[in-house]
Amino acid sequence: MGNAQSGGLSTGYCGPRPSDPGYNPMHKEGAIVLGIGGDNSIWGAGTFYEGVMTSGYPSDATEDAVQANITAAGYAETGQEIVGAGSGRCMDVPGATTNNGTQVNLWDCNGNSNQRWTYTSGKQLRVYGNKCLDAYNWGTSNGTPAAIWDCTGAANQQWNLNADGTITSALSGLCLEAAGLGTANGTKLQLWSCWGGSNQKWNLRN
């Protein structure tokens, strides 16, 4: 196993296989699987994983060469900044916290990971790779906080990025906005009935 962005490989276990039926003798079914999590879950969110198929057992040198090739490609999930049209400031997770329930706000754009969002094929807005923008507590009324939470795939974590610059909750149809027409650092983001204000318009920027 290893990190696709840097470093070499490490061995998690080296020893005899368990004697339980199904483990010994070993039965393998080869396959190429794309766009899913490594555990065959749906949480891969459209990510494509690079690998190789071999006949028999590859040597350590072959495995090391594959890892070196992958890290040399420089893969990274950088995401985009979501910039308020009225403020010029970024959607930001305060203090770069990862705590569930933290309400997002506006802050001067700085390119840090707490301001980099990835829009997935499942209509999620992900930050840090594993936290999602969430209509807090399944809220569907004006004033519902926009917060981060572990990604679940639920409807309160699904968003529509619209051609008019609005971001609407797939659950409620309400717009993501800077509360009270605020433009200052620390202005909280919430859901509100769409009315076309600049505090409800957003630009995605690499």
Read off the pLDDT of residues 41-53 as tens digits, 9 standing for 90 and up: 444 444 455 556 6
Residue keyed to tokens 């990510």: 47
Same domain for 87 and 50?
no
What SS3 state is found at 9? strand
Same domain for 96 and 141?
yes
Range of the domain at 70: 1-76
Instruction: Please give the model's pTM, rounded to 2 decimal places.
Output: 0.66
Question: Over 90: is that where the pLDDT of 74 sits?
Answer: no
Q: How many domains does the chain have?
A: 2
**β-strands 131-135, 105-107: how paired?**
unpaired
- Residues 7-25, mean pLDDT to the nearest whole number: 78
| pLDDT of res. 30 | 55
Same domain for 189 and 119?
yes
Same domain for 11 and 86?
no
Same domain for 155 and 188?
yes
Question: Over 90: is that where the pLDDT of 133 sits?
Answer: yes
| pLDDT of res. 53 | 67
Q: What is the spatial distance between Cα 25 and Cα 23, in angstroms, rounded to a whole number?
A: 6
Catalogue the E-assigned strands of 8-156: 81-84, 90-92, 105-107, 117-119, 125-127, 131-135, 146-150
SS3 of the chain: helix, strand, coil, percent, to 5: 15, 25, 60
Percent of the chain with pLDDT over 70: 82
Same domain for 69 and 157?
no
Q: Is the bond leading into 25 cis (omega within 30 degrees of zero)?
A: yes
